[in-house]
Amino acid sequence: MKSRYTAAKNAFVDSVDVEDYIEIESSMAAYAQLEHSLEKPLKMILLFGRPGTGKSILLNRAQQKLKHNKEIHYFDTPAINEKEFFSKLFKVITQKDLPRNTEINFPVLVDYCKSLRGKREMIVLLDEAQMYGPEVMEKIRLLSDSRAIKFVVSLHKTEDEDLIAKEHFQSRIWEVIELKNATPQDQAVYIHKKLLKKNLFEIANSILEKNMKLIHKFSEGNYRECNKLMFTIFEICEYYDENEPNKINYAELPQKIIEMAALKLGYIHV
C-alpha cells in the first residue's frame, strides 16, 4: 500500500507552476504592488529578493493574470548570448521572426518602438536579470525609454554583492518591490495550504505550532529551503509508515523527525 506521506512529500517538490500558487500575505502584497506599478507610467520595475523567496512564481502569476488584458511576455532564464536574447525580443516587438543571418539594427528597433508609443504597450518580465550584462541592460534601458515597453526586472539578492548598487542597475527610474523570507506565520500558512490543496487534512493537522517554529528556524523562512525540509521530513515519515508503523505518531509530527531531516540536509551537525 502506498503511504499517505508519499503525496505529502510530493507536494513539496520545488516547482514554479502557477497552478500551485498559494496566497500568502507577503506574496499577495508584492503582487498587488506589482500590478499597481504596472499601471503607472514607469519604464522599469525591479523585483528583488534572495534566492527562493518566490520571484519566479510571482512573475508567472503576473503573466497568467494579466495576459488577457495586456501584452505581456515572460523571459525565464537569460539566453546563452546577447544575440539570442535580442532576437527573442525582436520577435516580441515586431511580431516577426528575425530573418536568418541578419543582425538587428538596434537604433532602428528603438525608433520602431518609439513609433509605437501610445499605440501599443508591451510588458516584458525578465527573470534572473542578474545574469544580463551591462551592455544588455543599457540596451534594455534604451528600449524602455521609448515608453512602448515596460520591463519588470527580477534580481537575485546575494549576501556579498549588492546588485542594485551596480552602475547599470542604478540611476534608472525604478520602482522597487522586495520579496523577503517568510515570517513564521506566512510559512505556516504556506505549509498548511500546500497540504490542504492535496486534501491531506490529517497530515496538515499533525503539524503543531512548535513543529512550525522548528521548521521556520531551520529553513529561516526561505520557501525553497522549506520545500526541501518538508520533502525530507515526509520522506522519513514515509519510511516509518511503510516499515515501522508502530514508531510513528500520526496525530503529532515528532520534533525528532524534523531534526533528522535537518541533519540530513546539513542544517545541523551531530
Ligand X SMILES: Nc1ncnc2c1ncn2[C@@H]1O[C@H](COP(=O)(O)OP(=O)(O)OP(=O)(O)O)[C@@H](O)[C@H]1O
Task: Report whether 214 contacts 257 (CB < 8 A).
Answer: no
Question: Is 54 a residue that touches ligand X (CB under 6 A)?
Answer: yes
- List the one residue from 24, 123, 125, 236 that touches ligand X (CB under 6 A): 24
Question: Is 20 a residue that touches ligand X (CB under 6 A)?
Answer: yes
22 binds, among ligand X, Mg ion, none (CB under 5 to 8 A by kind): ligand X
Q: By beta-carbon distance, which residue lies closest to Mg ion?
A: 56
Closest approach of ligand X to the CB of residue 93, in Å: 25
Burial of residue 247, with CB atoms counted within 10 A of its CB: 0-12 exposed, 13-18 middle, 19 or more buried = exposed
Closest approach of Mg ion to the CB of residue 74, in Å: 11
229 binds, among ligand X, Mg ion, none (CB under 5 to 8 A by kind): none
Q: Do the bridges between strand 122-126 and strand 149-156 make them parallel or antiparallel, or are there none, so unpaired?
A: parallel
Task: Report whether 255 contacts 210 (CB < 8 A).
Answer: yes
Find the binding residues for Mg ion in span 17-76 (CB under 5 A). 56
Part in contact with ligand X (CB under 6 A); list of ranges 37-45, 88-96, 131-139, 222-230: 222-230
Burial of residue 73, with CB atoms counted within 10 A of its CB: 0-12 exposed, 13-18 middle, 19 or more buried = middle
C-beta contacts of 77-80 below 8 A and 24+ residues apart: 77/127, 77/128, 77/131, 78/126, 78/128, 78/129, 78/131, 78/132
Find the binding residues for ligand X in span 143-172 (CB under 6 A). 156
Closest approach of Mg ion to the CB of residue 228, in Å: 15
Closest approach of Mg ion to the CB of residue 16, in Å: 7
CA-CA distance, 201 to 103, in Å (whole number)? 57
Question: Is 9 a residue that touches ligand X (CB under 6 A)?
Answer: no
Longest dimension (CA), the chain: 72
- List the one residue from 37, 46, 52, 169 that touches ligand X (CB under 6 A): 52
Which sign does the torsion angle of CA 165, 44, 141, 74 carry? positive
Q: For residues 10 and 102, which CB has a smaller minimum distance to ligand X in the complex? A: 10
Question: Is 192 a residue that touches ligand X (CB under 6 A)?
Answer: no
CA 28 vs. chain centroid, Å, equals 13
Find the binding residues for ligand X in span 103-132 (CB under 6 A). none
Closest approach of ligand X to the CB of residue 56, in Å: 3
Closest approach of ligand X to the CB of residue 194, in Å: 7
Strand locations in 118-206, DSSP E?
122-126, 149-156, 174-179
- List the one residue from 10, 15, 115, 185 that touches ligand X (CB under 6 A): 15
162 binds, among Mg ion, ligand X, none (CB under 5 to 8 A by kind): none
> Binders of Mg ion: how many residues, by CB under 5 A?
1
CA-CA distance, 263 to 147, in Å (whole number)? 52
Q: For residues 148 and 179, which CB has a smaller minimum distance to ligand X in the complex? A: 179
- List the one residue from 21, 85, 90, 132 that touches ligand X (CB under 6 A): 21
| Cα end-to-end span (Å), the chain | 34
Beta bridge partners of 123: 72, 150
Q: Return residues touching Mg ion (CB under 5 A).
A: 56
